[in-house]
Amino acid sequence: MPLRVLQEATSPSNESHAPQHKSGSSLFYILGGLVVLAIVLIFLYVVWKRIKRPAQTMTVASKEHQEFGKHNESAEVMKMIFSSNQQSGSKEFFSGNLRTISCFDYQTLKKATENFHPDNLLGSGGFGPVYQGKLVDGRLVAVKKLALNKSQQGEKEFLVEVRTITSIQHKNLVRLLGCCVDGPQRLLVYEYMKNRSLDLFIHGNSDQFLNWSTRFQIILGVARGLQYLHEDSHQRIVHRDIKASNILLDDKFHPRIGDFGLARFFPEDQAYLSTQFAGTLGYTAPEYAIRGELSEKADIYSFGVLVLEIICCRKNTEHTLPSEMQYLPEYAWKLYENARILDIVDPKLREHGFVEKDVMQANHVAFLCLQPHAHLRPPMSEIVALLTFKIEMVTTPMRPAFLDRRPRKGDENHPLEALSQGFTSPIYLKASD
């Protein structure tokens, strides 16, 4: 009996303490959870603030990436062009080691070019048509639009051009301002060059006369641009399509090399690359046209042809002229052999006067660039030195390897036969003497 009384006496006391203990534990867990939740929210807010980008850039980027989600190919293109890094507070994407370029909206470029109106057409190349445009901030630009029917090849040229031109920087190379990838649309936006391209002046499409000082300035500027690509850039680059239409001129006729769609990065430890032919016949080095052996010496050969064009103000191949004058390097060499090389000078230039010593030097340089064997052509640094008379001209050029327009007996199976298809007249290699 005393034990039962004791149990009854102590029982209420235990029951009254149990709820208090349980309530205290629950409160502890609730407060702890709230603290953890607050810490997580603060952390997420700080992270969000740190990674937040400018509203305009994020809007453009997010819209583009949403569209690219619908076009797997476009998404891959953007991934290959733009790096994941982006400067805080900038509207520009990193797309190379030295340059940043903007990502333009297609509608913006459509408006700038007045819906790519024919009146704004500056010219057309292998990549596609180029239009003049005016951005909302008043800047004039040149918009190069990929021809949609080019498909795979055009896509490759687009990627190569963006990668190449954003990784290099020189006053004699064209400046890329940005690009646009919108579904199937591929566009490149360049700074506008007031005097457009060199071919308009030396191929008879302009009434404006270029005096010798301006022509020499263009020759030297192109040489320096090529020297940078071949020797001074952090990457060794072969342009593969040096010609008059790819030399752009600013308002003071300073030249800039453009159109890097066919450019190739070249390993330092490799003498040449064996590659599929791409370029413009008439400017093409024989070892590249026939055997696919590509090196910077192919650009040097093209430069030699260009120099002759600038001096005489005509195309390298002109079928309306007498047979012996149709192919410019061949005609120039005949005059050189007969000590009449100055006869090649543009008649208008002879009327206005020129520096004979400079013209003779430029002609000599052109022949050195046109040597039949690649190893005989001097590097661009030496060519620049020769043009500026920093070194003496001691090398006597050999007869160049000409691309002859007249097929000869037994030449039916010549290696260049396949390359000549689609041209108005067949082109064959004439063996040099």
Residue 279's region, left for phi above 0, alpha for psi from -120 to 50, else beta, is left
Structure tokens at 124: 């057309």
Full 3-state SS string of the chain? CHHHHHHHHHHHHHHHHHHHHHHHHHHHHHHHHHHHHHHHHHHHHHHHHHHCCCHHHHHHHHHHHHHHHHCHHHHHHHHHHCCCCECCCCCEEECCCCCEEEECCHHHHHHHCCCCCHHHEEEECCCCEEEEEECCCCCEEEEEECCHHHHHHHHHHHHHHHHHHHCCCCCCECCEEEEEEECCEEEEEEECCCCCECHHHHCCCCCCCCCHHHHHHHHHHHHHHHHHHHHHCCCEEECCCCCHHHEEECCCCCEEECCCCCCEEECCCCCCEECCCCCCCCCCCHHHHHHCEECHHHHHHHHHHHHHHHHHCCCCECCCCCHHHCEHHHHHHHHHHCCCHHHHCCHHHHHHCCCHHHHHHHHHHHHHHCCCCHHHCCCHHHHHHHHCCCCCCCCCCCCCCCEECCCCCCCCCCCCHHHHCCCCCCCEECCCC
100-103/176-182 β-pairing = parallel
Q: At 140, phi and psi to the nearest 5?
A: -85, 135
Q: Are 333 and 397 in contact (CB under 8 A)?
A: no
Residue 299 annotated in active site: no
Q: How far is C-alpha 27 from the chain's CA centre?
A: 67
Contact criterion met (CB below 8 Å) for 167 and 175:
no
- Residue pair 302/285 in contact (Cβ under 8 Å)? The answer is yes
| Catalytic residue (choose from 119, 182, 232, 241) | 241
List the catalytic residues. 241
